[in-house]
C-alpha cells in the first residue's frame, strides 16, 4: 500500500509540509503539520477527500520533533481518540514543548549566538523571531503518547516498516523503510534540497554534537537502501517510480556540501575567522537581514572542516575563531 500525501501549509520559509495517510487497516497519519487554522482546515479537507475525518484517525506517528511536523498533533488528539507515536529520543518536545523551547532559546541567547560573534541586538532579534514559532504547538498528555526505540519495526498500512534513526537535521529524526516494496518515508532526511542541520542545545553539559557530519553519515545509510519511491517531508515524492533518481539527488547534495565547505576554507584563509564574519562572506548574495538563515549550514561546514583536520578552533571572550592549520 502506498501512502497518500496530504500537503499542509506552514507559513514558514520551508513551504508546505507533507503528512502521509494510510487508510487501511486503520487510519494512520505520519506527521501532523504545524498548528494553525490554515493547516487544520487543509488537514480536514484532505481527509474528507478520502471519506475520513479527524475523529477516524487511530494513530499519529511523528518522524521528528520539529514544529512543522508535530505542532498539530495536540489538536488532533484533542479532537479524536488517536494516540501519538514518536521515537523515545524526542518525546519531551511533545509533552513539554514550551519548556523545551525555553531551554533551546536560552542556549541560543546566552551561548550559541554569542559564540558565533553576533551583536546582542541581532541576538535578541533572532530569538524574538523564534518565539513566534515556539507558540505553534500544544502539549500532548503523556498517556496519549507511545514511544519506540531508534531501531525496530512499526506497522503501517498493513506492512512492517523498519525504523531508521537518521540524525543530522534533527538528532531524534526517524525515517521508515519498507523493504518488500522499497518505499521510504524520508521525513526531512532526504529532500530534493539539502535539509538544514539544526544546531541543538547540548544535553547534560555535554559538548554540542556536530549536526552536518551526522547528516553525511545518515545520507550514506539512506543511499545504501534499495529504493523505488521516496516520500519526503517537503516536496513531491521521487525515486525510480517517479522518474527522478534519488541517487542523483544525493550526489548533488554531497557535491554542493563539498563545494561550499571548500569556499568556507578559502574565506578563513583570507581572514574571516568568526562564524558571523563567515556568514557575511558565504552568503553575500543575500540581503544582510536574511543571511542568518545560512548560519546552520555554515556551522556544519566548519564542523566538517574541523573533522577533516584542516582548521582549528579557538575561543576569545567566548567567541569562536577558526584558523587554517597552515596559519
Q: Note the pTM of the prediction, 2 decimals.
A: 0.96
Of 118, 134, 246, 120, give the one whose Cα is nearest residue 192. 246
> What CATH number should be reported for the domain holding residue 295?
1.10.10.10
> Is residue 103 domain-resident?
no
Q: Are residues 161 and 61 in the same domain?
A: yes
> Is residue 147 domain-resident?
yes
- Report d(CA 138, CA 320) in Å as an integer: 36
Write down the residue that cell numbers 551583536 correspond to.
119
pLDDT of residue 297: 96
> Is residue 110 domain-resident?
no
Q: Are residues 143 and 292 in the same domain?
A: no
| Plot region of 47 (φ>0 → left; ψ -120 to 50 → alpha; else → beta) | alpha
> Is residue 175 domain-resident?
yes
Query: 149 with 88: CB under 8 angstroms?
Result: yes
For the chain (length 327 residues), average pLDDT per consecutive 10?
96 94 97 96 98 98 97 96 97 95 94 95 91 86 97 97 98 98 98 95 82 97 97 97 95 97 98 97 84 92 97 96 92
End-to-end CA distance of the chain: 58
Q: Are residues 163 and 303 in the same domain?
A: no
Q: Are residues 162 and 310 in the same domain?
A: no
Q: Are residues 89 and 182 in the same domain?
A: yes
Among 194, 219, 245, the domain boundary falls at 245
pLDDT of residue 176: 98
Q: Are residues 227 and 256 in the same domain?
A: no
pLDDT of residue 18: 98
> Is residue 89 domain-resident?
yes
**How many structural domains compose the chain?**
2
> Is residue 31 domain-resident?
yes
Q: Are residues 140 and 157 in the same domain?
A: yes
Instruction: Residue 162: count other Cβ atoms within 10 Å of its Cβ.
Output: 16
DSSP code for 272: -
Q: Are residues 170 and 240 in the same domain?
A: yes
Q: Are residues 151 and 56 in the same domain?
A: yes
> What CATH number should be reported for the domain holding residue 43?
3.60.15.10
| Plot region of 30 (φ>0 → left; ψ -120 to 50 → alpha; else → beta) | beta
Pairing between strand 152-156 and 145-148? unpaired
Q: Are residues 63 and 207 in the same domain?
A: yes
Pairing between strand 159-165 and 4-8? unpaired
> Is residue 121 domain-resident?
no
Domain housing 295:
251-324
Give the three-class secondary structure for 153.
strand
Among 216, 245, 274, the domain boundary falls at 245
Write down the residue that cell numbers 578559502 correspond to.
266
> Is residue 174 domain-resident?
yes
Q: Are residues 171 and 77 in the same domain?
A: yes
Among 245, 275, 296, the domain boundary falls at 245
Of 103, 268, 280, 277, give the one whose Cα is nearest residue 201. 103
Q: Are residues 288 and 174 in the same domain?
A: no
Amino acid at each position: 500500500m502506498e501512502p497518500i500525501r496530504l500537503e499542509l501549509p506552514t507559513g514558514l520559509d520551508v513551504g508546505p509540509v507533507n503528512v502521509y495517510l494510510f487508510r487501511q487497516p486503520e487510519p494512520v497519519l505520519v506527521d501532523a503539520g504545524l498548528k494553525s487554522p490554515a493547516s487544520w482546515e487543509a488537514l480536514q479537507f484532505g481527509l474528507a477527500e478520502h471519506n475520513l475525518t479527524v475523529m477516524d484517525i487511530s494513530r499519529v506517528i511523528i518522524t521528528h520533533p520539529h514544529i512543522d511536523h508535530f505542532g498539530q498533533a495536540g489538536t488532533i488528539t484533542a479532537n479524536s481518540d488517536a494516540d501519538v507515536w514518536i521515537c523515545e529520543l524526542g518525546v519531551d518536545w511533545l509533552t513539554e514543548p514550551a519548556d523545551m523551547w525555553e531551554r533551546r532559546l536560552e542556549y541560543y541567547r546566552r551561548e550559541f549566538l554569542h559564540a558565533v560573534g553576533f551583536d546582542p541586538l541581532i541576538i535578541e532579534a533572532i530569538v524574538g523571531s523564534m518565539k513566534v514559532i515556539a507558540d505553534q504547538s500544544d502539549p500532548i498528555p503523556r498517556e496519549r503518547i507511545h514511544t519506540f526505540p531508534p531501531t525496530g519495526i512499526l506497522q503501517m498500512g498493513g506492512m512492517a516498516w523498519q525504523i531508521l534513526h537518521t540524525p543530522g537535521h534533527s538528532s531524534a529524526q526517524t525515517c521508515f523503510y519498507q523493504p518488500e516494496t522499497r518505499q521510504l518515508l524520508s521525513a526531512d532526511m532526504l529532500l530534493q534540497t539539502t535539509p538544514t542541520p539544526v544546531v541543538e542545545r547540548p544535553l547534560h553539559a555535554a559538548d554540542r554534537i556536530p549536526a552536518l557530519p551526522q547528516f553525511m553519515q545518515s545520507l550514506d545509510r539512506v543511499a545504501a537502501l534499495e529504493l523505488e519511491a521516496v516520500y519526503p517531508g517537503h516536496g513531491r515524492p521521487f525515486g525510480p517510480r517517479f522518474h527522478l533518481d534519488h541517487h542523483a539527488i544525493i550526489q548533488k547534495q554531497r557535491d554542493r556540501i563539498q563545494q561550499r565547505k571548500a569556499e568556507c576554507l578559502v574565506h578563513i584563509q583570507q581572514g574571516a575567522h568568526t562564524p558571523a564574519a563567515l556568514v557575511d562572506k558565504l552568503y553575500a548574495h543575500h540581503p544582510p537581514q536574511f543571511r542568518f538563515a545560512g548560519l546552520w549550514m555554515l556551522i556544519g561546514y566548519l564542523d566538517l572542516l574541523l573533522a577533516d583536520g584542516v582548521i582549528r578552533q579557538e575561543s576569545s571572550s567566548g567567541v569562536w575563531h577558526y584558523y587554517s592549520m597552515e596559519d
